[in-house]
Structure 1
Amino acid sequence: MELSWNDFTKVDMRVGTVVEVADFPEARNPAYKLWIDFGELGILKSSAQITVKYSKEELLGTQVVAVVNFPEKQIGPFMSQCLVLGAVDGKAVTILSPSKETPNGLRIA
């Protein structure tokens, strides 16, 4: 299915910095709970299945790209507020991240 330019502009993707990471043992698939600072948008939470390639310590302070205008989604006892983007290879996900430090909250265009 082909997207129109108007469809693409509806997706609000932003850069944020991971400021807190916790295990998520209640998740069906191995995942972390993330708290991500998006600058003026504040800190949003996300559940991310990125445990194959990343440790909690490695993620702390990492900049990520996430979709911030999806409806919140209840995942077990945790409310996910954004979707961290990544390249998926089976169960191994590589997060998308700016190649240089970028101000939190900048929109991806």
Structure 2
Amino acid sequence: MLSKKSVIAGLAALSFFFAAPAAWAQGDLVFMHNASPYFVWSDLEQCIDDLKNVSNGCDSFTYRSFCGTWMFSSTGTSNVAKLRLNRGDKVKLFHNNGTNNVYCTVQP
């Protein structure tokens, strides 16, 4: 018979297994909110491929074109950015290539 701790550990491992693909998907751009990274893609096909295992998949980032191009993200990431912009906060997008150089700043 399985102990209660074994069952809890098994459930935790399964939840990590199913959540991990979304956590590992990283776009080529990133913005920070409450000390957490939110990833954005400049390439739709790469976004679709990276987020294929996520329930809501790839979506247009904030449903507007910024910085001279359309960008893409999960719906959740887009909603976080829209909330910030609606509050009058800027969303500063950085390159996610180890340099952390600013790609552009999205104005409200």
Give the alignment's TM-score, normalised by structure 2: 0.28
Which is strand-richer, 1 or 2?
Answer: 1
Which is helix-richer, 1 or 2?
Answer: 2
Larger radius of gyration: 2
Q: Which has the higher contact order (CA 8 A, sep 6+)?
A: 1
Give the alignment's TM-score, normalised by structure 1: 0.28
